[in-house]
Amino acid sequence: MCTVKTEHSCYHSTCKTLVEGEKKHLAACTTLNTLPQTFKEMQHFFGLPQSGELTDETLAVMKRPRCGLSDVEPFGETIRWKKSQLSYRSELPIPVSRVHKAFRAAWKIWSNVTPMRFRKRRRREADIVISFHSGDHYDGSPFDGKQGILAHAFLPGFGIGGDVHFDADEDWSFNLFAVAVHEFGHALGLPHSSDPGAIMFPAYNFAPNYELELSFRDVKDVQQMYGINPNFAALFSKKPPPRTPDKCDPDLSFDAVSELQQEVLFFKDRFMWRKHPQFEEIRITLTSSLWPDAIPPYLDAVYENSAKNLILLCPSGHQYWMLKQLTVEEGFPKNITELGFPPRIKSVDAALHLRKERFTVFFTGMMGNLFMYLYSHCDCYHIFNQLLVPSHHLQFIFAIF
């Protein structure tokens, strides 16, 4: 595990390697000379501009709730269970039916795509022990209190191998299931994935209204290790595992495109590509890596009002968010009627902000209704609409002046 903690200008890295399920602790302090390369590797993994510096965005990624295993170091050779039926035992301070239900559902996510079966045991020895701990619990991987590292797991093997530890200091009221699915993947032998759409991506996805499911990459990786569930085709015939969008797909279309500070952002579903003028590579990442999980991941329109340093997000539905320095402004989300839209308008298809003219054009509706509102120094003071020539549904509009 490599976890980088920051305190002003002092950065420390503690690395550990677990071999064949048993701990072999290798500790070393990363020198300042190697920090730029460490940051570059992390930025590459998370789809950030690879500056090699501790930017605000890099720091934000490091602070996100995450798994305790290494982000960028592979496990090496594949380590897997040699049997198709595994037992697990949960060590909880008190019996909690909600916790057991979350664990059963998390195991089912993996058994739906493989022949693996998981049986709960109460008192007998089990292959996998699931437990909750605070701080240093003598496995070489102490927890850090609320937020930060939420859990960690060990590779398949004897003793501590396959065990899963959750941080007892966390609030597990809403995200236990998502974390359990990820950590159980490690207990089966899966490493972290660089695919931001994968369950095994190191940063957890707690976006609201997001239906957690294994991605195509998750399914492919676990089936290579354990085989395919005989009922897999029937279970996923109507809704196959989702693939992360490919920027080289000739049929790819975007939900929104916007210029943000120096970058151009391309949005598709819950993903985005970032084009920075100082970096050649365009990498995909989750929209939740840029702003809080509270904002829905599927966007219809995004623009930046550089004069006010505000970003307006218009997700599918009738609400909008306004951000300042990537932080949600107080009182948001608000209904789009507060912008002056009539009640019949339920969503916005695209938005174009014209800096020099200091107004924003909104597009909405299959029939090409054009909505425009003008900014004064403080806020908008006028809005009107005009019917344009009927056209196909508008997905996004973008211009650079």
- Positions annotated as catalytic residues are 183
In this structure, what token pair is assigned to residue 156?
């398949």
Whether 349 contacts 317, CB under 8 Å: no
SS3 state at 53:
coil
Of 165, 224, 158, the C-alpha closest to 190 is 224
Q: How far apart are CA 316 and CA 297, in angstroms?
A: 9
Q: How far apart are CA 152 and CA 24, in angstroms?
A: 16
Residue 28's identity, in one-letter code, is A
Instruction: Please state whether the peptide bond connecting residue 333 to the residue before it is cis, i.e. omega within 30 degrees of 0.
Output: yes
Whether 113 contacts 228, CB under 8 Å: yes
Annotated binding residues for Zn(2+): 67, 137, 139, 152, 165, 182, 186, 192, 200
Phi, psi of 256 (to 5 degrees): -160, 155
Which residues touch 237 (CB under 8 Å, ≥6 apart)? Answer: none
Of 321, 323, 296, the C-alpha closest to 310 is 323
Whether 80 contacts 156, CB under 8 Å: yes
Phi, psi of 101 (to 5 degrees): -65, -40
Phi, psi of 183 (to 5 degrees): -70, -35
Task: Find the distance separating the first CA and the last CA of the chain, reported in whole Å.
Answer: 46
Annotated binding residues for Ca(2+): 127, 144-145, 161, 163, 167, 170, 255, 300, 351
Annotated binding residues: 67, 127, 137, 139, 144-145, 152, 161, 163, 165, 167, 170, 182, 186, 192, 200, 255, 300, 351
Of 366, 401, 370, 364, the C-alpha closest to 383 is 370
